[in-house]
């Protein structure tokens, strides 16, 4: 199977090179008939990558430990689900996974894109094939082929890192990869539009859903990564500003900016150059993130071992940046805006400021991530840039962004009158002020926490007002019931109301993030039968009684499970079990260092988070790190709301179909809801 | 194994009953006597009993500001309460406790660590000298860009108002616009173009 896999890689590489070069050569040689072969090459590449991937999966499932990758990341007693997901557990496999998904996305883009954009498609194929050829070349020439064989066959493999043996790690990396990889498609459309000189709104329409999809995948990937860190790493938090976490946030921020500014291009024909720059920048940042992960240039707990692969990524990053921005420079005159911004009090201006803050946060994250390198270069002194730095720099910008999330939808396109502004801001501002008074009366004093919750109330007021006015308008016009009016309102304009739902997800995130300022952590030593009491930020008193430590063998590990009987305000609450897991191979030999499994009892208001730190002198008397983490449940809820909103926004149909839009305009729906008020 | 109808229905009903019952909070089993573990090594490194100083807010605060030297990128407190395989963070914790017991203030403890381990022991650089660039550049850039954007938009707004006023004024009172003025207006507008 390794021969077949390696052969498929070579076939894929040659096909991808052809598919990459031919659209550009055919343009140069004035032979448009050649360009179509690029599209066929995309399908052939997809087939080759599927064959290569199946070959690797076959090696993993059949425990062919003669394959170096299989021996490095699996063992005979590794649960089946992790054997399958070991495909992307290591660098070599994840490169193949990247090439596989990219080739599938490239082929799907060719199939689903409307014939209206057929002039763009050879170039889209060229770009996706070019990116795929890079990843395959890295495998073939960077000593990173997952099909390399060992000189001998070990009786068992090393097994999978215990921290990766978690359901979160089954889904989180592929989701993040899907996000990173699917960014290539909007980038490909942007390059195609510039190559084909089709710089009207056509390319935007062709790639809009791809952009939302990439953004969704990244959002899901980032949230799952936070969840994995929370339930697996045991430090009681979910975001540590690690360089690799930052790398995933960077393209998410610029893509969020693009999703807003592209609306200005669609509605007013402005910001064409800015949007093109954002798409290019987002793609480059996705590659930059991968470069950080793989090069070892910045210390990170996530980094793969340093290898020559980093140089491949750096070369690709620089080549792509120079080529894409050079092309943008040549097309600059054709990207003239059709209209100009007229007022500071306009939706366009609010979106511009929103873009500014989003890109500003992206810059500050990038700046902080790279600042240790800069400092060492300038001063010759190594420094650490950790969470305190990022919090200090980014929290003010984040609050500004939250404020703009509420302000943007309240302002009309083009310009807004003072009377309209007063009418639009009245209730959301009241909501914010009421929240401020209530929080101050409740004794909250932390500035950032207060601001987060007050602004969240303001944004919630905005969203509620938008829904309320839309529903009320429909009820008046069509005599619909409130529920029917809500359903039809959302269905008619999924993008707009899906967007509002995303805003709700974001404000829920902010509320939950601020809650962690009140986290309580305590280390305790308990012998079986001993108890300790901890008071929570919500005023609950939890008592923890150590029940004992039991040791047993399960699957591929020896488990030491410590149980605590937890009472809340004197009433029975839960029995929380935290474990130490010593993984073993199929011969019973201990493999990795013992890892920790956290015990969590999650609630709407607070999580009780227990970590079994270890035993005192080999007895059941044990140390525990116990945390009460407020509002963490809402982080995951915010993620779900965000995803539902995103799905709603990208769901096919709704207002985008021409007949529906015509009907709405004829019935006055457009004029009443959009014309005079904010959309 | 063959399954007859009775056993299938019985099993299904049983499963339904089991799934429909609310999950009870398990009763706390009888706490066993404290005893030695069968395989202490599998439960990780042996720990020292927690002392009151381990939870002292001053110590915790200091440890949140200092980085563990094991290469984990975490602060000392987070590392010692998370990575229980790390041998560095417990030692650094003991070092901090030693300095604290000597009567050193938090600032003096941090200064002693910087002297011994270098500036990189701080989780965030001190906001002074070149480090100020790290803290201020992003915010200043956003402010600068925001300021420029506001000025451009305000100028454009004024232009639009002027143009609107000129267009809506009665024809008899509208002063004739000379070609020179028109040229100047065009130049001004092109200056504020996207």
pLDDT by residue (tens digit) across A553-607? 988 899 999 999 999 999 999 999 999 999 998 888 888 888 899 999 999 999 9
Residue B104: phi, psi to the nearest 5?
-75, 145
- Inter-residue contact A587 to A156 (CB < 8 Å): yes
B5 CA: distance to closest CA in chain A (Å): 33
Give alpha helix (H) positions in A120-242: 121-141, 167-182, 184-195, 202-228
Q: Which residues contact residue A451 at a Cβ distance below 8 angstroms, ignoring those fewer than 6 apart?
A: A399
Do A485 and A535 lie in one domain? The reply is no
The model carries a pTM of 0.85
| CA–CA dist A666, B40 (Å, integer) | 78
- With vertex at residue B99, the alpha carbon angle to CA B98 and CA B105, rounded to the nearest 5 degrees, is 145
Least CB–CB distance from A548: residue in B32, B40, B138: B32
Residues of B in contact with A348 (CB under 8 A): none
Q: Same domain, yes or no, for A494 and A555?
A: no
Same domain, A594 and A666: no
Domain residue ranges in chain B = 49-121, 131-165+179-191
Find the domain containing A76 and state its range. 1-162
More confident residue, B73 or A624: A624
The whole-number pLDDT of residue B11 equals: 52
The Cα-based distances of A574 to A115, A126, A603, A630 in angstroms read 59, 58, 12, 17
So what's the ipTM on this one?
Answer: 0.80
Q: Does residue A670 carry a pLDDT above 50? A: no
Q: What is the pLDDT of residues A111-158, one digit of tens each?
A: 998 778 888 999 999 999 999 999 999 999 988 899 999 999 999 999
H/E run at residue A266: helix A243-268
Chain B closest-CA separation from residue A240 CA (Å): 8
What radius of gyration do chain A's Cα atoms show?
Answer: 27
Query: Given the structure tokens 């949007």, which residue do they identify?
Result: A275
Looking at residues A218-233, what average pLDDT do you find?
90
Residue pair A579/A597 in contact (Cβ under 8 Å)? The answer is yes
Do residues A487 and A471 both lie within one domain?
Answer: yes
- Does B71 sit within 8 Å of A590, measured CB to CB? no
A32 and A127 part of one domain: yes
Q: Which residues contact A391 (CB under 8 A, 6 or more apart)?
A: A241
Q: Is B151 at the interface with chain A, CB within 8 A?
A: no
* Interchain proximity B47–A623, CB inside 8 Å: yes
Is residue B184's pLDDT more than 70?
no
Instruction: Give CA A279 to chain center in angstroms.
Output: 16
A85 & A147 share domain: yes
CA distance B68 to chain A (A): 11
The interface residues of chain B toward chain A in range 33-92, judged by CB-CB distance below 8 A, are 33-50, 54-55, 60, 64-65, 67, 71-75, 78, 81-82, 84-85
Tell me the average pLDDT across A478-490. Answer: 92
In a domain, A638, yes or no: no
Is the pLDDT at B17 greater than 50? The verdict is: no
Of B81, B84, B141, the CB nearest to A363: B141
pLDDT confidence of residue B178:
62
Residue A71 has pLDDT above 80, yes or no: yes
- Chain B residues with beta carbon closer than 8 angstroms to that of A364: 138-139
Nearest residue in chain B measured CA to CA from A611:
B82
- Residue A331 placed within a domain: no
- For residue A560, give the nearest of B43, B65, B119 by CB distance: B43
pLDDT surpassing 70 at residue B18: no
Assess whether A15 and A80 both reside in one domain.
Answer: yes
Whether A445 and A537 share a structural domain: no
Give me the CATH code for the B49-121 domain, please. 1.10.8
Say which residue the tokens 């015509």 belong to.
Answer: A662
Residues in B closer than 8 angstroms to A371, CB to CB, are: 134
Asked if residue A52 is part of any domain, the answer here is yes
Could you give the CA distance from residue A142 to residue A92 in angstroms, rounded to a whole number?
A: 10
Q: What is the DSSP letter of B124?
A: S
Residues of chain A contacting B130 with CB distance shorter than 8 Å: 375, 378-379
**Same-domain pairing of A483 and A412:** yes
Are residues A448 and A532 part of one domain?
Answer: no
Average pLDDT over residues A313-330: 94
Q: What pLDDT sits at residue A443?
A: 87
Helix axis angle for A2-28 and A91-112, nearest 10°, is 50
Residue at which a domain ends, from A127, A162, A197 = A162
Q: What is the 3-state secondary structure (H, E, C) of A466-517?
A: HHHHHHHHHHHHHCCCHHHHHHHHHHHCHHHHHHHHHHHHHHHHHHHHHHHH
Please tell me the distance from the alpha carbon of residue A411 to that of residue A341, in angstroms, as a whole number. Answer: 14
3-state secondary structure of B105: coil
Cα(A54)–Cα(A104) distance, integer angstroms: 14
For residue B190, name the pLDDT band (cuts at 50, 70, 90).
low
d(Cα A486, Cα A667) in Å, to the nearest integer? 18
> Rounded to whole angstroms, what are the CA distances from A623 to A564, A610, B81, B90?
12, 10, 10, 13
Residues A506 and A564 in one domain: no
One domain, residues A9 and A73 = yes
- The pLDDT assigned to A62 comes to 95
Question: Searching chain A, which residue's CA lies closest to the CA of residue B141?
Answer: A360
């Amino acid at each position: 199977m390794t021969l077949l896999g390696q052969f498929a890689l070579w076939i894929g590489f040659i096909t991808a090179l052809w598919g990459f070069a031919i659209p550009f050569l055919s343009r140069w040689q004035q032979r448009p008939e050649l360009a179509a072969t690029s599209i066929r090459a995309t399908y052939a590449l997809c087939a080759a990558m599927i064959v290569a991937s199946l070959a690797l999966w076959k090696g993993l499932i059949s425990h062919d430990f003669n394959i170096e990758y299989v021996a490095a990341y699996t063992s005979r007693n590794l649960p089946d689900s992790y054997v399958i997901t070991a495909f992307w557990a290591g660098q070599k496999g994840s490169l193949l996974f990247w090439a596989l998904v990219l080739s599938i996305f490239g082929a799907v883009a060719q199939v689903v894109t409307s014939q209206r954009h057929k002039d763009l498609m050879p170039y889209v194929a060229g770009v996706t094939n070019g990116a795929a050829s890079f990843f395959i070349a890295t495998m073939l020439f960077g000593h990173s082929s997952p099909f390399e064989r060992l000189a001998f066959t070990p009786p068992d493999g090393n097994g999978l890192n215990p921290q990766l043996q978690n359901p979160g790690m089954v889904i989180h990396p592929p989701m993040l990869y899907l996000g990173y990889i699917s960014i290539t498609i909007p980038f490909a459309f942007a390059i195609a539009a510039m190559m084909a000189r089709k710089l009207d709104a056509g390319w935007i329409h062709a790639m809009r859903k791809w952009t939302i999809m990439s953004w969704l995948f990244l959002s899901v990937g980032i949230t799952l990564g936070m969840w994995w860190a929370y339930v697996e790493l045991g430090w009681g938090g979910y975001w540590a500003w690690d360089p690799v976490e930052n790398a995933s946030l960077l393209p998410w921020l610029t893509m969020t900016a693009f999703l807003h500014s592209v609306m200005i291009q669609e509605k007013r024909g402005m910001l064409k150059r800015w949007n093109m720059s954002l798409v290019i920048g987002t793609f480059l940042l996705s590659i930059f993130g991968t470069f950080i992960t793989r090069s070892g240039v910045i210390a990170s707990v996530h980094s793969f071992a340093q290898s020559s692969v980093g140089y491949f990524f750096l070369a690709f990053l620089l080549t792509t940046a120079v080529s894409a921005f050079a092309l943008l420079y040549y097309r600059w005159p054709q990207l003239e805006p059709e209209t100009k911004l007229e007022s500071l009090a306009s939706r366009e201006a609010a979106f511009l400021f929103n873009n500014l803050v989003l890109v500003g946060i992206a810059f500050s994250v990038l700046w902080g991530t790279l600042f240790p390198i800069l400092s060492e270069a300038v001063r010759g002194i190594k420094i650490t840039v950790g969470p305190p730095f990022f919090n200090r720099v980014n929290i003010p910008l984040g609050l500004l962004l939250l404020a703009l999330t509420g302000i943007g939808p309240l302002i009309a396109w083009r310009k807004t009158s003072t009377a309209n502004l007063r009418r639009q801001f009245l209730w959301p501002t009241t909501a914010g002020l009421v929240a401020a008074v209530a929080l101050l009366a409740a004794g909250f004093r932390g500035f950032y926490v207060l601001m987060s919750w007050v602004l969240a109330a303001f944004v919630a007021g905005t969203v509620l007002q938008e829904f309320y006015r839309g529903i009320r308008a429909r009820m008046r016009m069509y005599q619909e019931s409130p529920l029917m009016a809500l359903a039809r309102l959302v269905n008619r304009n999924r993008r707009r109301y899906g967007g509002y739902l995303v805003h709700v997800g974001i404000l829920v995130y902010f509320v939950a993030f601020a809650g962690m300022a009140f986290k309580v952590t305590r280390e305790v030593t308990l012998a079986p039968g001993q108890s300790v009491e901890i008071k929570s930020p919500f005023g609950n008193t939890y008592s923890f009684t150590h029940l004992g430590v039991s040791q047993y063998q399960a699957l591929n590990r020896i488990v030491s499970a410590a149980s605590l009987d937890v009472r809340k305000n004197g009433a029975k609450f839960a029995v929380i079990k935290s474990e130490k897991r010593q993984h073993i191979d199929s011969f019973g030999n201990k493999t990795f260092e013992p890892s920790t499994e956290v015990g969590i009892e999650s609630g709407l208001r607070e999580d009780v988070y227990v970590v079994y730190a270890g035993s005192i002198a080999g007895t059941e008397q044990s140390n525990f790190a116990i945390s009460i983490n407020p509002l963490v449940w809402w982080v995951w809820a915010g993620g779900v709301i965000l995803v539902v909103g995103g799905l709603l926004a990208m769901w096919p149909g709704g207002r985008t179909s021409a007949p529906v839009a015509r009907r709405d305009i004829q019935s006055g729906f457009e004029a009443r809801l959009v014309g005079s008020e904010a959309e | 194994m063959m399954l007859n109808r009775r056993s299938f229905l019985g099993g299904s009903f049983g499963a339904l009953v089991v799934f429909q019952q609310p999950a009870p909070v398990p009763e706390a089993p009888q706490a066993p006597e404290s005893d030695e573990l069968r395989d202490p090594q599998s439960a990780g490194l042996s720990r020292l009993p927690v002392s009151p100083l381990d939870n002292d807010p001053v110590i915790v605060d200091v440890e949140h500001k200092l980085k563990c030297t094991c290469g984990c990128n975490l602060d000392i407190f987070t590392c010692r309460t998370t990575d229980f395989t790390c041998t560095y963070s417990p030692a650094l914790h003991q070092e901090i406790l030693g300095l604290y017991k000597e009567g050193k203030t938090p600032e003096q403890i941090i200064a002693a660590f910087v002297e011994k381990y270098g500036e990189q022991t701080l989780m965030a650089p001190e906001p002074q000298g070149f480090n100020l660039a790290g803290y201020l550049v992003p915010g200043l850039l956003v402010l600068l860009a925001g300021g420029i954007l506001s000025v451009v938009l305000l100028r454009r707004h004024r232009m639009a108002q002027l143009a609107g006023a000129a267009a809506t004024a009665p024809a008899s009172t509208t002063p004739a616009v000379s070609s020179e003025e028109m040229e100047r207006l065009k130049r001004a507008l092109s200056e504020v173009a996207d």
